[in-house]
Amino acid sequence: MGSVSHRRIEWHPGQPLQAVCLTGGHPAPSAGCACGIHASPDRRQLLDHGLCLVPGLPLVLGRVAVWGAVVRDDHGWRGQYAYPVELSLVEGTAGDDGTDRLLALLARYGVPVDTVPLAEAVGDVSAAILTFQAMSSRNPPS
Ligand SMILES: [Zn+2]
């Protein structure tokens, strides 16, 4: 499972993710930097901030635990370590027959897994855009 904000960062089942600073060369998180594993206090704040969506890729939301060094800022927390405590596959993002396969993959993290409606996960505007993009990719203009 890859990060929505840093596509090359992978969350591996059974392994805490450890933060590194990609720009400052110091231990992460640092109070004077933006590094660390970001966690928001609630889903509404994520919707207001705008999730990074890639049409055609499954989207998973998660509640995470962050620990080690933790910095509190205006948007939530930035942690040194993180691991999911709950995962939700966003309905309609797994493709026509991918939901069961993805739920089985998410179960490897050993935490509760469920699904969440698209509009609840990404907000109404983003959901409409994703739905339109999905329809367009199935029926490309000729
Ligand atoms: Zn940093």
pLDDT in tens, the chain (142 residues): 777 666 678 899 999 999 999 899 899 999 999 999 999 888 777 776 666 566 678 888 889 999 999 999 888 999 999 999 999 998 888 877 788 999 999 999 999 999 988 777 776 666 666 677 667 766 665 5
Question: CA–CA separation, 10 vs 67, rounded Å?
Answer: 18
Rounded to the nearest angstrom, the distance between the alpha carbon of 33 and the centre of ligand 1 is 5
Structure tokens at 31: 């109070």
What's the domain count of the chain?
1
Is the residue at 105 inside a domain? yes
Rounded to the nearest angstrom, the distance between the alpha carbon of 36 and the centre of ligand 1 is 7
Is the residue at 8 inside a domain? no
The pLDDT assigned to 26 comes to 96
Rounded to the nearest angstrom, the distance between the alpha carbon of 93 and the centre of ligand 1 is 32
CA 87 to chain centre: 9
The pLDDT assigned to 91 comes to 87
Is the residue at 6 inside a domain? no
Is the residue at 12 inside a domain? no
Residue type, 106: L
Is the residue at 134 inside a domain? yes
Rounded to the nearest angstrom, the distance between the alpha carbon of 79 and the centre of ligand 1 is 12
The pLDDT assigned to 130 comes to 66
Is the residue at 40 inside a domain? yes
Closest CA to 83 of 64, 70, 67, 69: 64
Is the residue at 11 inside a domain? no
Is the residue at 42 inside a domain? yes
Length of the chain: 142
Rounded to the nearest angstrom, the distance between the alpha carbon of 77 and the centre of ligand 1 is 14
Rounded to the nearest angstrom, the distance between the alpha carbon of 19 and the centre of ligand 1 is 9
Range of the domain at 115: 17-138
Rounded to the nearest angstrom, the distance between the alpha carbon of 31 and the centre of ligand 1 is 8
Closest CA to 84 of 115, 111, 51, 106: 111
